[in-house]
Structure 1
Amino acid sequence: MTAPAAAPPAFTAESPWVRRAARPGRPRLRLLCFPYAGMGASLYRSWPDLLPEDVEVVAVQPPGREDRARDALPSGVGPLARACALALRPYTTVPYAVYGHCAGAVLGAETARELVRRGAEPPRLLIAAGHRAPHLPARTEPLHALSDEDFLAGVRALGGLPDRLLANASFMEFLLPLLRADFALWETHRGDPGAPPLPFPVLPLRGDADTVVTAADAAAWGERTTAPPRDVVHVPGGHYFVNDMTPEAVAAVVAALETTRTLPPTDPEASS
């Protein structure tokens, strides 16, 4: 008689900032996941079923998103990263990696930098998906200062929100100021070219139909880490391929996490 399949781990709130799918026992690796601008932790709700059983998914719920819609955004990316690091510090007692999509890649990088500053071991890997290296200038005009109509048209063109939501007038009336504030936070952020390089390896991940981030933009992450640069991994999809993870995209994330089994420990002193 075949044993029944194990129930998927519940994706539960452990603090305002953290949604975790707890695995029984001690996981081999925790994956700290950061959503893109305007999206919350629910973006990663399906990931526990997609990843190996010894990988535990911990997703960040930033203020101004989903059930934290009434919480004000911090004044900048630095304060936001520090708040994320404070909330995530207890989850770094086992080896961990970071996945961030679009703006979440920058927030994940800065949060990991702050975690190291606070005494945590560096992440075994940052998977930076759908975002140019943060020291590069933006290739597109900012959207947050446009009229409502033009702003929503720009968001629709990026493909980050489903058309069914964009077509819901009452919902968009509520969401619009939150979304605009979130875009303003990221579009006005300027990476510090004088900041120390990241003291952990970075794997750039890019949708092969992405019209926002070029392959060269993604590859430039290798210029901002003390680890050897990694080749860009391309997966099917556009800028927000994370919204509909293909088997190839899942396989790319799993393969990247598998490399952490043999990675040597990173050196926190490299960031000083």
Structure 2
Amino acid sequence: MQSPWFMRFNRDPQAKLRLFCFPYAGGSAGVFKPWRNAFAGVDVVAVQLPGRGSRVAEKPLESMAEIVARLIDELRGFRDLPFVFFGHSFGSLVCFELARELQRRGIDGLRHIILSGRRAPHLPRVHPNTHDLPYDEFIEELRSINGTPEEMLTNKELMSLFVPILRADFKVNETHQYRADIKLKSAASIFRGRLDTDVPEAEVQAWRANFESGDIEFTEFSGDHFFIHSQQQLVLERV
């Protein structure tokens, strides 16, 4: 099984389950490389969207519909095992919409979905769009999120490569149109950083409205929006 959309870290022929990991905005599949040996008997696969990592020469996608449609096609060769989705922030929205499209098409295999660091998608937006801000204002927005190192933010040559990817991901996130046509049947877990002021607990708990089952676990971690890095070991234990 080979696809530019997926990076496989541990090709375990004895694996009984596949974990698909969806990175935050601007993130590459490499975000999840430290997870490669964390789970015995699990094939860890990270999603690599166009424009980053090994696909840096490709144009980033700006439509959730296109991202989901392409991922559906690419998943065909990876459905030999039952699977779990884990998404953080923007990645939560991507894997959620992918899971819903799989269910609409009657494609089985999803056993669990873990939604981390994002408010529920059916809630109305409360913040203005940022994907189309002038460059300097966009950089300040990134600085406020606290997910990009300062030495990177001040390197204009490097940011000239990174900003288009972030703008594209932010656009997908900010222009996403939620459809209330289906509730997921799978079990779910919801993660949040206790200091993440942009993702209040009530807005994370609101994910529950998108599932048929009450089998949903909520876990809060120390740290801000990027607790999946600062609290990595605890996150892996919960996953």
CA contact (8 A) 1:89 1:120 kept: no
Deviations 1:234-263 (A, max 9, x none): 01221122233433222222xxxxxxxxxx
Question: Partners in 2 of 1:41 and 1:199 — Cα distance?
Answer: 27
The corresponding residue for 1:134 is: 121
CA contact (8 A) 2:188 2:216 kept: yes
**Residue identity opposite 1:197 in structure 2:** K
Q: What is the aligned counterpart of 1:35 among 23, 46, 55? A: 23
Question: Partners in 1 of 2:145 and 2:23 — Cα distance?
Answer: 15
Question: Partners in 2 of 1:76 and 1:204 — Cα distance?
Answer: 25
Q: What is the aligned counterpart of 1:143 among 130, 147, 171? A: 130
The corresponding residue for 2:84 is: 97
How far off its partner does 1:103 sit? Answer: 1.0
**Residue identity opposite 1:224 in structure 2:** N
How far off its partner does 1:199 sit? Answer: 2.2
Q: What is the aligned counterpart of 1:224 among 194, 199, 210? A: 210
Q: What is the aligned counterpart of 1:125 among 80, 105, 112? A: 112
**Residue identity opposite 1:211 in structure 2:** T
How far off its partner does 1:23 sit? Answer: 3.4
Residues 67-216 of structure 1 aligned to structure 2 (within 5 Å): 67-192=54-179, 194-216=180-202
**TM-score normalized by the length of structure 1:** 0.82
Question: Partners in 2 of 1:211 and 1:122 — Cα distance?
Answer: 35
Deviations 1:155-208 (A, max 9, x none): 11112222232122210122222321221121111212x221112122110011
Q: Radius of gyration: which is bigger?
A: 1
Q: What is the aligned counterpart of 2:226 among 205, 221, 240? A: 240
The corresponding residue for 2:235 is: 249
Identity %, equivalent residues: 33
- Aligned Cα RMSD in Å? 1.9
* Runs of at least 5 residues in structure 1 that lack an aligned partner in the other structure: 1-12, 254-272
**Residue identity opposite 2:236 in structure 1:** V
Question: Partners in 2 of 1:246 and 1:29 — Cα distance?
Answer: 21
Question: Partners in 1 of 2:12 and 2:115 — Cα distance?
Answer: 28
**Residue identity opposite 1:244 in structure 2:** S
Question: Partners in 2 of 1:137 and 1:231 — Cα distance?
Answer: 23
How far off its partner does 1:75 sit? Answer: 4.6
How many aligned positions are there? 239
Q: Are the structure 2 counterparts of residues 252 and 24 from structure 1 closer, same or farther at C-alpha, using a change threshold of 3 Å? A: closer
Question: Partners in 2 of 1:155 and 1:229 — Cα distance?
Answer: 35
CA contact (8 A) 2:18 2:82 kept: yes
Question: Partners in 2 of 1:220 and 1:158 — Cα distance?
Answer: 22
The secondary structure found in structure 1 opposite 2:110 is coil
Q: What is the aligned counterpart of 2:8 among 13, 20, 24? A: 20
**TM-score normalized by the length of structure 2:** 0.92
How far off its partner does 1:145 sit? Answer: 2.1
Deviations 1:65-117 (A, max 9, x none): 23323322345101211111211232222111000010111110111222334
